[in-house]
């Protein structure tokens, strides 16, 4: 089933380690080639009681480093660390290529449901043009009857764990999101709305801010993001 969906599964060769027996879905947002397939990514798909475009191009730093590549590189590092600890990891896309697109947000949203995953984390970078906007924030699904009512509380617990991991690693909390605590709740994201397992979307920073961009475009910065996300996931799974 997973192969027919174009998903990638990484599993520890020996079921041992502190995360043995757990399954984590990582969703590297967007795809490098989305901009080359406008008809495909603009097609409306289910998003939780309404429709939204299949996908979008994502953003980039002012220097041209694509969000899709950031998401992919951080997700791959995080996947390797999770597998080293014994977890099974499913990725919602298997490549970062200019000649590919998607998958759509409805597919991404439902991946964890089919395999009874313990959690799903969707990894992104923001593209705000607000003056001075920088820092990370973590988005949890709103409690919507018939959709996310059953996962809203554990998803918020996951969001708090991920926030703690990022904040303790030294990544600044977003200064442009209401509340100022690095947490947001949204009801308009199909990636979250269609999940039946605890899920969050994390915006690692604002790619348009020079300080955030420097962190995102450096190998050291991406490794720090992966380590911080791992800390948050492990705390939630405990």
Neighbours of 137 (CB within 10 A): 26
C-alpha 13/C-alpha 36 separation (Å) is 37
Q: What is the signed CA dihedral for 213, 218, 219, 225, rounded to 10 degrees?
A: -30
Clarify whether 203 is annotated catalytic. Answer: yes
**Contact status, residue 91 vs residue 8, Cβ threshold 8 Å:** yes
* From 67, 106, 203, 212, the catalytic residue: 203
Which among 180, 182, 173, 170 has a CA at the least distance from the CA of 135? Answer: 173
Supply φ then ψ for residue 103, to 5 degrees: -70, 170
What are the catalytic residues? 203
């Amino acid at each position: 089933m997973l192969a027919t969906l174009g998903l990638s599964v990484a599993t520890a060769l020996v079921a041992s380690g502190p995360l043995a027996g757990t399954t984590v879905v990582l969703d590297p947002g967007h795809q490098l080639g989305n901009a080359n397939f406008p008809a495909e990514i603009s097609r409306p798909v289910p998003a939780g009681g309404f429709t939204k475009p299949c996908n979008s191009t994502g953003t980039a730093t002012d220097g041209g480093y694509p969000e899709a590549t950031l998401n992919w590189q951080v997700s791959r590092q995080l996947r390797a660390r999770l597998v080293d600890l014994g977890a099974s990891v499913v990725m919602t896309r298997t490549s970062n290529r200019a000649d590919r697109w998607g998958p759509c947000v409805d597919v991404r949203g439902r991946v964890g449901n089919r395999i009874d995953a313990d959690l799903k984390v969707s990894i992104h970078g923001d593209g705000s043009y607000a003056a001075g906007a920088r820092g990370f924030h973590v988005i949890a699904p709103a409690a919507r009857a018939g959709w996310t009512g059953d996962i809203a509380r554990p998803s918020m617990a996951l969001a708090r764990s991920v926030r703690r991991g990022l904040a303790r690693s030294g990544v600044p909390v977003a200064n442009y999101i209401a509340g100022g605590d690095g947490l947001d709740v949204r009801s308009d994201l199909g990636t979250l709305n269609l999940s039946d397992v605890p899920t969050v979307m994390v915006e690692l920073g604002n790619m348009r801010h020079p300080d955030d961009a420097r962190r995102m475009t450096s190998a050291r910065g991406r490794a720090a993001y992966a380590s911080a996300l791992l800390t948050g996931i492990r705390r939630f799974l405990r």
